[in-house]
Amino acid sequence: MLLLSPHTEDADAQRLLEVFGEWLEQARPERR
């Protein structure tokens, strides 16, 4: 599991969420 550091900027956290969301769509395209 990836843990975010309390020093992580909101922009970085948002980018990670976007990348993770895209990965989920690619990993499980049936859930579109």
| pLDDT tens for each residue of 1-32 | 566 666 657 788 889 899 999 998 898 877 55
Q: What is the pTM of this model?
A: 0.48
Residue-level pLDDT at 27 = 87
Geometric angle at alpha carbon 30, from 18 and 28, rounded to 5°: 45
CA distance 12 to 3: 13
| Tokens matching residue 12 | 């970085």
